[in-house]
Amino acid sequence: MMRLWGVGKVDNFVGKLWTGWKALRDEGLQQIAMFQYVFNTISSSFGTLSQKVSEMHRHVHLCTSTGFYDSSPYLQVDNLPPNDTIAGLIEGLAAAHTAYDVPRERNVFDQLWLEYEVLPSPTQPNPFLVQTRMP
């Protein structure tokens, strides 16, 4: 039996990924680089999109008169749970960035919403971002 550590102890999915990877490694099978890439980024994948979907449901409920949301007393705007995933991901990414940085990251499409959130605004400057001009 292989011993789990880190996130694998509390996250069943990550635990199975880790156990499978170790079993293949012990058999001598080499993994392609993409496996490592997916394994490292899976924890924040689609977090931004889940917040945007939640915002879309709230918007549709407040701005349309389709009658769909009137079909059940449970489909009320107050019953739509808040989803502030982007802010939480930004806090985690900022903390991770201080500990570890990957130059020239190429995974940009699902992380674009995080970039927008991390950029400083007039009301909330970001101490982790350095802006400079090219010569």
Which residues, 6+ apart, have CB-to-CB distance to 54 below 8 Å? 80, 81, 82, 83
pLDDT in tens, 100-114: 666 677 776 767 777
Question: What residues does each domain of the chain span?
Answer: 1-43, 44-119
The answer to whether the predicted template modeling score (pTM) of the entire model surpasses 0.95 is no
pLDDT in tens, 46-100: 778 888 888 888 887 777 666 666 666 777 778 888 888 888 888 887 887 677 6
